[in-house]
Structure 1
């Protein structure tokens, strides 16, 4: 076990990437897609993970070669770098803090539902119980934040992400689609139904998360990696992208196997209770919900970290997790996170819409990294090769196309 744990810990930054990428917003999108469209959007997930892997690698390699961080480099080396960096900070923080509200709301409700499965009398005190759970969770997370140690954040994320992955893959063995349906999912099509375009944009927004790439150099800095770790960084980026695909596809497949052919529609993650229990039983249902809870809690840390990360990156390229600035910004995020539990909103639509908004910052993030990894004064003999440039150009075109698709989807929601 010690050797296995040591092996897992060598992929530390990968778990931050997974934490940013797979949260309750991502799980929500996968469940809604699997129940409404089957495996039809598997191709979108695959392309998003492929491009994400390339972007995680590009940002990580830039950090290792130059010792610099992303936004600080944008500000110094790009034309209009300051306004671009500020727009990215505002856009990413808005998306991540909105996600944080939904994450805490859904996670608190999941803990409540798991308790209510075994203690039905709690149902009469749902609002009070959910609120107490939410306050306890966010207060615990903030207390851990105050310790301010990268290694501690990493260990906790490894635990949450491992639980999440094992839970969802286990659920897939119990409820799964036909192999032919999985193969058909790799054929590019967009559901010609209401909400289809919105879901495509949400998929990309949740899988190609700008926060994942921008935070990569700072986490590599926290890990202490340098030129001697280039191959390890490359392997770490591949592991992150592969695990995001496997875990996300497993959630979609479980929702497909359990709900799609029955015509069941999901408007809330907790609707999976009624749908899964008759098929999989109470134990398997608990495992699935435990995975969803781990997905939520694994995203709380990165979402709390993102604003101070980006501000520190922009100002100095260094992160001080014990500074007053860090503690104040994360404290504000914790208070905002309680919005949904306090007012009792249903966060599902908000979570999907938040994922769509995440897409709009993505082209700027890709243009930024394309510029600096091809800057010879920064990268010297380590400038990006043809293969990486080609993949990132395709990623940019994909992001622009999805952004346009997102605009059309949002306009359609209000027309």
Structure 2
């Protein structure tokens, strides 16, 4: 294996995490922020990606030093109930994500197909196709296959959104101004605080950090690989910032300057065409599909991974019970096109679990990372603990904003 091949292979875990994080939920949140506030909230993307890098690196380092994954450590050194808390809440979160992702992909493809076939193609057929693709790849049954497939989809997604950025880029002065932290004034139909919360929430997903430790252990990284682990984490965080910023810029360069608001990403297909042309719409659609499909692979496999991790078993996605679990979870992607409904209650529950898990995740790694019996001389430093405290406080604020949004949504049902 050449040096270049080794270098690229060392980045696969980071690419995997990037594909897991940047899905249709992220695209929707970033596009809405760009449409409503231009580049004014670019700082929020940078902050959430910086925190993501910090936590990815910290969790990876914990596993290299202690020899245990996060879930194993939660079970063994805190309480088995803590481990089950993460298994249950993260599974509930991704179930809601599966429903939403495939619903959006089906609807986006339907809107795009109207320009090719009179009346378009029913969203159910698109959802069935992508559900089948994801499940068939799951049947291949190992992380290496997932990483390679995700690398392809992530590459397609990144290229598409970067092309859109180059075509629709807003003025550089607006981009620079967006890096200055501020909360834009909101009109009667906008809530900038909730937009910030949704942007941060789609990036800072606790399952990302817990799964990171599994990937590090499977990669057999040792103390000699600490620098490689850090580089991989930095690459993942950098990709998140560039692609998320590109999505925001595409919306800011078109919808924001026209004063057009956005309630869901499906609308962007129709809104972009008169402003940017059919090619930009096609590129955006392909990028969105790649984002959705790339996040579905780890969504479907997350529960089997968590169960093997919890029980300290070598990951084996070919277990018959796991194939049944994956089939059921994949089937959730058909809920929206079959029932032609918006799964509000399920998505609300998913968001509630997501809001709960992040502060708990930060608190647990802080407790374990300061144990001399686990970390020895590499216990978390005063600086690391200080940053963790700030991240914990930030997570609590974001949780509060998320719950206020959930309550408002429940009241409107």
Tell me, yes or no, whether TM beats 0.5: yes
Cα deviation, 1:53-100, whole Å, max 9, x if unaligned, reads 11101111111222211112111112xx33332222222111111111
Judge which range, 134-143 or 165-174, deviates more.
134-143
Q: Does 1:262 align with 2:258?
A: yes
Partner of 2:279: 283
Displacement after TM superposition at 1:26 (Å): 0.6
Contact in 1 for aligned 2:22/2:203 (Cα 8 Å) = yes
Q: Is the 8 A contact 2:70 2:210 kept in 1?
A: yes
Match of 1:411 in 2: 407
Alignment of 1:2-401 (within 5 A): 7-78=7-78, 81-117=79-115, 119-123=116-120, 126-127=121-122, 130-191=123-184, 192-193=186-187, 194-316=190-312, 318-346=314-342, 354=350, 357-401=353-397
Task: List per-residue Cα deviations over 1:380-400 (Å, max 9, x = no partner).
Answer: 122223332222221111101
**2-side partners of 1:410 and 1:352: how far apart?**
6
TM-score normalized by structure 1?
0.91
Post-superposition shift, 1:308? Answer: 1.6
- Pair 347,188 (structure 1): closer, same or farther in 2 beyond 3 Å: farther
- Contact 2:156 2:287 (C-alpha < 8 Å) held by counterparts: yes
Distance in 2 (alpha carbons) for counterparts of 1:328 and 1:261: 48
Deviates more, 1:216-225 or 1:108-117: 108-117
| Residue 144 of structure 1, CA deviation | 1.4
Contact 1:18 1:243 in 2 (8 A): yes
> Does structure 2 conserve the Cα–Cα contact (< 8 Å) formed by 1:54 and 1:392?
no
Query: What is the TM-score of this pair, normalised by structure 2?
Result: 0.92
What is the alpha-carbon distance in structure 1 between the residues aligned to residue 132 and residue 243 of structure 2? 28
Q: Which sits farther off after the overlay, 405-414 or 95-104? A: 405-414
SS in 2 for 1:147: coil
**Helix, strand or coil at the partner of 2:139:** helix
Q: What's the secondary structure of 2:88's corresponding residue? A: helix
**What CA RMSD, in Å, does the superposition of the two structures yield over aligned residues?**
2.3
- How many pairs does the alignment contain? 407
Describe the SS at the equivalent of 2:277: helix
The unaligned stretches of length 5 or more in structure 2 are none
Q: How many angstroms apart in 1 are the aligned matches of 2:140 and 2:409?
A: 43
C-alpha separation between the residues in 2 aligned to 1:352 and 1:259?
A: 27
Verify the 8 A CA contact 1:28 1:348 in the aligned structure 2.
no
Contact 1:175 1:254 in 2 (8 A): yes
Distance in 2 between residues matched to 1:190 and 1:13, nearest whole Å? 34
Q: Which runs of 5+ in 1 are unaligned?
A: none
Q: Greater CA deviation, 281-290 or 236-245?
A: 281-290
How many Å apart are 1:139 and its aligned residue?
1.7
Aligned partners of 1:347, 1:292: CA distance in 2, in Å? 20
After superposition, the Cα gap between the structure-2 partners of 1:153 and 1:140, relative to the gap in structure 1 and judged at 3 Å, is same
Query: Structure 2: how far apart are the matches of 1:92 and 1:198?
Result: 22
Q: Distance in 2 between matches of 1:267 and 1:236?
A: 35
Tell me, yes or no, if the aligned pair for 1:54 and 1:388 is still in contact at 8 Å: no
Q: Deviation of residue 271 (structure 1)? A: 1.6
SS at match of 2:358: helix
Residues 4-60 of structure 1: per-residue CA shift (max 9 Å, x gap): 665433201101211221000110111111111222322222111111111101111
SS in 2 for 1:384: coil
Q: Quick one: distance in 2 between partners of 1:350 and 1:181?
A: 37
| Worse overlay, 2-11 or 141-150 | 2-11
Preserved contact between residue 104 and residue 296 of structure 1 (Cα < 8 Å): yes
